[in-house]
Amino acid sequence: MRAAGLSVALFASLVRHRAHHGVARRVAQRARREGGGGGIRCATTGENVAAASTSATASSSSSSSPPPPLRTYYADWAEVILPDNHRFPMEKYKATRLLLEADASLAGKLELLPSPALDLADVLAVHESGYVDRVLRCELTEKETRAIGFPMHPSSVTRSLASTGGTVAATRDVLAPNTAHRCAAQIAGGTHHAFADAGEGFCVFNDIAVAATMALREYDHLLSARSKTPILIVDLDVHQGNGTAKIFEDDPRVVTFSAHGEKNYPWKTKMRSTHDVELPDDASDDQCVKVFEEWIPFLFETYDPQLVFFQAGVDALRDDAFGRLGMSREGLLRRNHLVYDACLRRGKARGGGEEKRTGERSAHVPLVVTMGGGYSRPPDASVRAHADVFRSAAYRYAVGAVR
Ligand SMILES: [Zn+2]
């Protein structure tokens, strides 16, 4: 296990927290000035998701103890150095975290934690050892590096490991015995273009695949005992989750759903998810939300998931440089709430019957939220929409029950 030995030493030597990045701070400040902190109302629920939501806690579910804050990991402490004028907006991660950190309305509703290191065995359970080894040694071929889209420095290796580690940690949070965490999130990850033996499209390791595989190994008694298709990956990034689809193509326990732009990347390496839905160029909020409203309940009814991963990319935003779709910030909020409410509603329906008798699980389907793509230029619009993903989850899970 040469790769594993190498990684422990490498990772230990690289793990250090960095000072705030000036660019990210400026982006966060601008995003806040331009609407990060107030006045967005979700069209589905009417809930004001961008301002203090005192009604959320007031109408909290009947549970005796209040829900814990949304545990939200961040990986931007591992700084990635990109060439000048690189097209990937690396500063968006820290800017999103700073926007959430500065939002007083999230006090008690959202808890920010640095993504922890992960056990390399978890990565090797999904990724081919030769590929992992080349990543860790920064010895990818030119062709492999070109497919990923940025060079692998030790700092990028650390970030890729931390990003994967955050999703694994969030998954453990929602599956641990007697956990109070119904949802956990990470301001990174959703690296759905990574295949078992190769990276692609800014993705090195496939964090959701690594976390789902860990869950099947360590929590199978909770998952497969209740459903033959216990894991559902809802990938609503504007690009197809091709790596995730390929990794799980022969595993009936994992259902992959990808709703993406018909004409978007990946053009040559699209794979077959369990279900793929292709959206036309410039698709509007109503067009997209109608698709999600039809598919999400269908997926929950058909597969009875026991764990859901949400790849919550915001590159369907009209302002996105790569997206090709026409969604607004409000439309993305409607989308987010459809996923959150499906997890809570599904659990609520089950909570009255078998759940109460067995007492094995609380009334919800555990949910892990990852960040995914967002490429507006300047990045402010993407940062606001990314922050909405986490803010609206924090509010929704502070309420708990679905009205
Ligand atoms: Zn994307």
State pLDDT tens for residues 341-397: 999 987 654 444 444 444 444 579 999 999 999 999 999 999 999 999 999 999 999
118 CA distance to ligand 1 centroid (A)?
Answer: 24
CB 301: neighbour CB atoms within 10 A?
10
Q: How far is the CA of 327 from the centre of ligand 1 (A)?
A: 14
Helix ranges (DSSP H) in 71-206? 91-101, 120-124, 129-136, 142-148, 154-175
Q: How far is the centre of ligand 1, averaged over its atoms, from the C-alpha of 264 (Å)?
A: 9
Three-class SS of residue 227? coil
CA 266/CA 385 separation, integer angstroms: 23
**To which H or E segment does residue 302 belong?**
helix 285-303
Q: How many Å lie between the centroid of ligand 1 and the Cα of residue 315?
A: 6
Count of alpha carbons within 13 Å of 324, Cβ hemisphere only?
13
**Closest residue by Cα to residue 383 from 365, 367, 371, 370:** 371
Question: pTM value?
Answer: 0.86
- Among the ranges given (5-9, 36-40, 95-99, 261-265), the one the predictor scored with the smallest mean pLDDT: 5-9
Phi (first) and psi of residue 151, to 5 degrees:
-70, 150
Token pair 């927290």 is found at: 17
Q: Which two tokens stand for residue 13?
A: 């030597």
Specify whether the CB–CB gap between 233 and 208 falls below 8 A: yes
d(CA 340, CA 35): 23
3-class secondary structure, 356: helix
What average pLDDT does this structure show over 95-106? Answer: 97
CA distance 403 to 400: 9
Round to whole Å and give the CA distance between 134 and 277.
34
Domains of the chain: 2-399 (3.40.800.20)
Q: What is the mean pLDDT of residues 45-57?
A: 39
